[in-house]
Each structure stands twice: as C-alpha cells, then as structure tokens.
Amino acid sequence: MNTRLLLIQALAIGGLVACRPAATEPAPIDVQPLAIENGRFTPEVMWGMGQLAGYAVSPDGLQVAYGVRYVDMNENKGNTDLYLLATDGLTQPVRLTRTAASEGNLTWQDDHTLIFSRGNQILSMDISSQREALVGEIAGGFEGFKLAPDHSAIVYIATVPVPRPERFAKLYAGLNQTTGRINEDLMYRHWDTWVDDIPHLFYAPIIEGKVAADQAVDLLKGEPYESPMRPWGGTEQFSFSPDSKQIAYTCRKKTGFDYAHSTNSDIYLYDIATGETHNLCPAFEGYDQCPVFSHSGKMMAWTSMARDGYESDKSRLIVLDLESGLTTDLTADFDYNVGGLTWTADDREILANVPYRGMNEIFAFNLQTKAIRQITHSYYDVNGIALRGTKIVAPQVSIQSPAELYVYSLADSLSPGRKLTTINSDALSQLRMGRVEEHWIPTTDGKQMLTWLVYPYDYDSTRTYPAILYCLGGPQGMVSQSWSTRWNLELMSGAGYFVIAPNRRGCVGFGSQWCEEISGDYGGQCMRDLTSATDYFASLMPQIDRGSIGATGASFGGYSVYWLAGHNHDIKGYPDGQRFHALLAHDGMFNFEQQYLETEEAWFTNWDLGGPYWEHNPQTAHSYANSPHRFVDKWNAPLCVIHSEQDFRIVASQGMAAYNAAQLRHIPSRYLYFPDENHWVLRPQNSLLWHRNFIDWFDQWLK
C-alpha cells in the first residue's frame, strides 16, 4: 500500500466577535448529506461517500484503527479522521479524532497505544482515554514514517534539494525574481512535478519518548538518488530488521539520462551502528522493491522484475537467505504478479496480493514445499494484507462497492471474507447499482478474453440502451473489481449506459504471454480485442442500440480512443458503417513521435514502441505507423478531449493537437483542460466537472 501522505491543510472560517473579525477553529469535514434520487448513482453521490484512508491492526489482532475521508465539495477539500473497531465485528466503531487536519500513517506501539501523523507532527494516543501526546515534529515536513520494532527510533521520508552545478550560480546572480530553469540532463521533471528535490530516508532516535529530529541521520547523505522511488514509492519501500539494527531500502542509484532509461533498482542494507551500506542484489537488472524481513531476521523477501527497462515485467517473489547469500524465486512456476508481501509468524509462508484472472486476490507461498495456495476468492479485489497470527485484515472493493475492511483466516481457501467496517452501507442500501456480469468471449486469434458487462442501473429488458466501451489505460494493467473516483463503471451505468470493459491484450492477471503481446503492437491484437468485445455484445444483447455506442479511456485508453477514431468506417452491421458514434479521450497519446520526445521516462517508450522513431527497424516502423495522428483524415465521430497541464507522462500538447485536428476537420468536438491536475483529476470540484462533462458529452451524442 502506498503510504505517501496527502497533507491537506484546513481553511480558516471567519466569525464575528465584538464587531471584529476573529479566527475560529476550522470545523472537521464529517459525513456528507447524500441526495439520492430514484436509487441512481451519480458523481455527486460518489463524492459524498466516505473513503477508507489507511488502517493498522493492533499487535494482538483484536483491534483495527482506520481512517475515513469525507469531502466537502463547497470547500473543495477533504480530511481524514480516525476510528477504532474490534476485529470480531461485535461492537460499533469508536471515533478517535475529530479535527480539521487529516490524520494518517497509522501504526501501533503496543496493544493500547496508537501512533499516527497530523501535519508535521507524530502523535501517540492512549486508545482507552483517547488522550494524545506529541511524540515528535519534523519541521520541514515528511511523507511517512516507520517505527522501529524495539521503539527506539523511527525512519521517516523527507525531501532534500537536488544539487545544481556551481557554475550556474553566476548566471543567477542578482536575479532573485527569475523563474527560469536551466537543465543539462534528463529527468528534470517527473510525473507531475519539476525535480527540484528528491526523497531521502532519515533515521531519528527516540529519546525519553520523543523523536530527536535534530539528531536525524540521512541514510543517503550526499547521494543524488531517490529513496523511496518517485512517483509511487512510500513506506512500503523500506523496512527495519526485527532487531532494529538494520534498515533495508529500495533505491535506483541513477540520475539524469541513466535514470530515464533504466528501471534497475536494488535493495540496499544499511547498518545503523556503522553507517555502512551494501547492495543485496547487484546482479538483478530490473525493478527490485519493497524489502520485508522474516520474523527471525535470517531471510528477506522482495518483489523483483528480471529485465531492465520493462516496467511491466512479471513481478516475482524473491527470498534471500541473509546468511548464505542464496536467493530463491518462489514464483518461478507461477505466471502472475505478486505484491504486498507479508511473512507468516512462523516464517513458513509469504502472503501476497496477486492480480488473478480479473480479481486481486491473496495467495500464500510456502518456502519449504514451494506450494502455492489461494486464500481469497469472490467478485472483488483485495488490496492489502495485515496479518496477526492467523487473522488477516484487508480492504475489499468491487465495481459495485467502495473499500471496506474484511477479515479472513490464514487457513481459508477461496474465502469471500467477513465484512468488518460499514462506512457506506447506508448509502449503498439506497442505491440500485447496475448488474455486473463476467463474460469470457472469443478473440480474433482464437483465445478467450474476460470482459465485464455492466448493465444500466434502470435496466428493462424490453428497452434499448446506449453503450460505452471502456478502454483500459496502463497499457499493462487489469480491468478488475475496482472502485475509483476517476473511472467508475457504475457511474456510467447510473447515467443509463451499458458498459463493456474488456481485459484486452496487455492486461496482467492472465499470464505473461497475454500481457507481453501488447508491447510493440499497439495498433494490433489489443485493438482487435477491443473491437471484438464491442461486436460481441452488440450482437449478443438486442438491448444495446447499435447506433448509440461510444468509446472512452485514459492514457493508453486515450490512445485507444484516438486509434479507434481513425478505424471507424465501413464496418458491417452498424448504422452508417460506424462502430462508435461518440468518443472521449483523457490524457491520451496522439502523436507517437511527439510522445517519444516529450515523456520523461524514456524506458517506457523504448520498450513499448521499440525505440526512437529515427531508429529504423521493423518494430519501430510498425509502432509509429500506428500513431493515431496518421489517421485523422478518416475521423467521423464526435470527439471530446480532456487533458491536464501537470501531466508530464503524456503532456498537454498531445490533447491540444488531437482537439485542434478535430476542429480543423470540422468534427464536432470539445476540449476540457485542467491547468492544475496531473495524469488524473484529483481535486473534488475538478473531478465533479470531469464527470458532469463526461455524462453530458455522451448524452448529447448517444441519447
């Protein structure tokens, strides 16, 4: 679980006291009123629901503390408060905090003391009295922390400035108001930020119950490298040894051009007493991440990819014997990815989250027998693992329900789990979610593809409805039983649409071959998979109006929409020969030559496109020939383009170019631009505008 904190500051609310403005304490954001009409799920209802925001199980496994985030749309912000619940599920939750500032980074010191963060502070709470005490404050802020097993110290994440060449100093002399940036290497920006600082790990002792931040030691002092790695890394990328004497951490010790072309990170072991660091896996070439010590301290497990430059390589489960130096791949005969590693108390098994045939499940891997068994199974995703003895607590989510905590047993086999929290039970009881069906449909090359079909929420078999093809981004990912405030299939259902959501070529969870068949073939079988899914349901379901089918997606899904726009003519069985009569693309790749030179992580385009467009070989020729901008002359369907300025993965000029192309061709088109969003749309009011625009656009052209 990514524990990088989103530290949201509350706005002051003014009041009148003695005829003068006076500051009052900001009010916490609490449960929001929901205006549910006729059981319909709308964007407004979605944003009014509570969001599970982190959790931690007590050492004895009897209690779980968890955060719930609510959003105030008028204030355009949210905040998280903490709750406590017994894991037997026999009591009601107890609210632990009621503040306008968010709490997070939950951990337990013992069965009676909870440790958490609020702003720049680390606090403890006696859960019986709910009295808080200040444990420490990091003046410059931090992104997360871990407590040493013996409670003698913490390791926290904070940023340090990126060193700049001294020769630039004379250029900036006397220019204290300039906004100019000088760069002479790559990776000067990443994901959604300019790289002016990078995260480092700091070890700070706890003295007489207080974090001695003034004695903090930078584990990478003087090194220009990230740990954890941007943009996703958090506290899961480092861990203490059981004796609290060593720290294992993830780092890709590269900068600039080398960083932009490589995914070769390693696991490093830092000795607290000596300050010495050594690389535990120098011969491993791909991503190595998220080290976890065994309880005995004799072994370490981490996730590992074999190939440098391939960010979607199979994620393996590697175990290192720290005494002998021997490594074992527990997934050598298991063709699925693993993550979220957790050792059992006896160190005999390692639990992992596994994307598996359209769901995220928990599997157990036995170190001695090499046996692999599946613990959970139903129509949901399990995203996390907290193991205490034989009890597993983890968030469960589905297409029809946001995340709630569930309880499983280590002895379970294909268990649906027992529901623990009820954050949104009241709201869900008032909603009529669209039915979700699992279909395995034939592809053009004779294989079977899992495709989810979501029915309109008001489905009547005697009527016809428009449909939307959902094109997954990634490009490597999985259309699973997920829930999101971004791409929410039930919102499309609530607007009165069938939703067709295929796990096309390139998706994980269906074996390595299925995943890898997308690389170097963006306009090939993966596109035929999308059109096969559309044609299958258009033929199977007379309730789908063949003249009212749209397509949508983001990132690679946005590319898919642009590509489909140029291959949307002379199709048998559809009115006017058009498969799609309205399109919407978010942050999509439009011009591959442009994309190659604009994106920040060069390894991605090198692997998936085959290299730069000036290197002439069969793979690059095929890749760049399938760039959507080459087929603009064949566009014939209305197109809505959405893009964000702070998206440095696929920059805003891609969206502008696509929109301008549609306008110049007199294709009905619309452009929604966000100057303050990244690859996603995270601010509440921006998100609400996004969803309202989405529904309005498709309603205009498909209804």
Decide if 647 is catalytic. Answer: yes
List pLDDT tens digits, range 648-662. Answer: 999 999 999 999 999
List the strands of the sheet with 299-304, edge to edge: 288-293, 299-304, 316-321, 327-329
Q: Which two tokens stand for residue 523?
A: 């306009």
Q: b/e per residue, 541-576, with b = 16+ CB within 10 A?
A: bebbbbebbbbbbbbbbbbbbbbbbbbbeebeebee
* Residue 663 counted as domain residue: yes
Res 507: pLDDT: 98
Domain of residue 566, CATH code = 3.40.50.1820
| Whether residue 555 lies in the annotated active site | yes
Who's near 511: CB < 8 A, 6+ residues apart?
A: 335, 336
Contact partners, residue 589, CB within 8 Å, separation at least 6: 555, 556, 558, 559, 562, 595, 628, 650, 654
Write out pLDDT tens, residues 244-276: 999 999 999 999 999 999 999 999 999 999 999
385-435 pLDDT, tens per residue?
A: 999 999 999 999 999 999 999 999 999 999 999 999 999 999 999 999 999
Q: Whole-angstrom Cα distance, residue 313 to residue 337?
A: 9
Phi, psi (rounded to 5 degrees) for 314: -55, 130
Is 178 exposed, middle or buried (CB count within 10 Å of its CB: 0-12, 13-18, 19+)? exposed
What are 655's two structure tokens? Answer: 């969206």
Question: Exposed/middle/buried for 86, CB within 10 Å: 0-12, 13-18, 19+?
Answer: middle
Q: Mean per-residue pLDDT for 547-567?
A: 98
19 — pLDDT class (breaks 50, 70, 90): very low
129 belongs to a structural domain: no
Does residue 679 carry a catalytic annotation?
yes
The secondary structure of the chain in percent helix, strand, coil, rounded to multiples of 5, reads 20, 35, 45
71 near 47, Cβ under 8 Å? yes
Query: What's the mean per-residue pLDDT of the chain?
Result: 95
In whole angstroms, give the CA distance from residue 380 to residue 433.
Answer: 15
Half-sphere exposure of 694 (CA within 13 A, CB side): 29
Could you give phi then psi for residue 432, rounded to 5 degrees?
-110, 90
Q: How far apart are the first and last CA of the chain?
A: 41
Q: Report the alpha-carbon distance of residue 556 to residue 114 in Å, rounded.
A: 42
Q: Please write the tens of the pLDDT for every residue from 416-430.
A: 999 999 999 999 999
Q: What integer pLDDT is reported at residue 139 of this predicted model?
A: 94
* Catalytic residue (choose from 190, 586, 679, 691): 679
Helix spans in 517-599 (H): 525-540, 556-565, 592-598
Provide CB contacts within 8 A for 681, sequence distance 6+: 486, 644, 674, 687, 690
Q: Decide if 460 is inside a domain.
A: yes
The residues near 345 (Cβ < 8 Å, ≥ 6 apart) are: 295, 387, 389
Q: What are the start-end ranges of the H helices in 431-521? A: 489-494, 512-516
| The one-letter amino acid at 272 | I
Nearest CA to 133 out of 47, 240, 211 is that of 211
Nearest to 54, CA basis, from 82, 76, 79, 77: 82
In angstroms, rounded to a whole number, what is the distance separating the alpha carbons of residues 162 and 141?
17
Sequence-ordered list of residues with C-beta below 8 angstroms from that of 562, at least 6 positions apart, any chain: 585, 588, 589, 590, 628, 629, 658
Cis peptide before 163 (omega within 30 of 0): no
**Domain for residue 261, yes or no?**
no
Of residues 262, 519, 647, 687, which has the active-site annotation?
Answer: 647
CA distance 191 to 575: 41
Compute the average pLDDT of residues 563-576.
96
d(CA 116, CA 101): 12
Which residues pair with residue 554 across a beta bridge? 586
Give pLDDT, residue 2: 40
In a domain, 569, yes or no: yes
Expressed as residue numbers, the domain containing 525 is 427-702
The whole-number pLDDT of residue 24 equals 63
Residues 453 and 498 sit within 8 Å (Cβ to Cβ): yes
Q: What is the DSSP letter of 691?
A: H
Question: Tokens 């920006």 correspond to what residue?
Answer: 189
Tell me the pLDDT tens digit for each residue of 581-640: 999 999 999 999 999 999 999 999 999 999 999 999 999 999 999 999 999 999 999 999
Going along 77-196, which residue ranges are E strands? 77-86, 94-95, 103-110, 113-118, 121-126, 131-137, 144-147, 153-161, 189-190, 193-194
- Catalytic residue selected from 555, 560, 623, 627: 555
pLDDT attached to residue 14: 30
Q: With a cut of 70, say whether residue 11 has pLDDT above it.
A: no
Burial class (CB in 10 A: 0-12, 13-18, 19+), 437: exposed
Q: Give Rg (Cα) of the chain.
A: 26
What pLDDT, on a 0 to 100 scale, did the predictor assign at position 26? 81
Strand-strand pairing, 113-118 and 103-110: antiparallel
Domain assignment present for residue 240? The answer is no
Give DSSP secondary structure letters for 238-288.
EEE-TTSSEEEEEE----HHHHHT----EEEEEETTT--EEES-TT--S-E
Taking the C-alpha atoms of residue 344 and residue 295, their distance in angstroms, rounded to an integer, is: 8
Give the H/E segment covering residue 327: strand 327-329
12 within some domain = no
Q: pTM of the prediction?
A: 0.94
In a domain, 236, yes or no: no
Tally of CA atoms within 13 A in the half-sphere of 422 that contains its CB = 11
8 Å CB contact between 14 and 21: yes
Q: Which pLDDT score is estimated for 87?
A: 97
What pLDDT digit, counting tens, does each position of 135-177 carry?
Answer: 999 999 999 999 999 999 999 999 999 988 999 999 999 999 9
Two structure tokens written together for 490 = 């039930």
> Domains in the chain: how many in total?
1
Q: What is the DSSP string of 613-644?
A: TTS-SHHHHHHHHT-GGGGGGG--S-EEEEEE
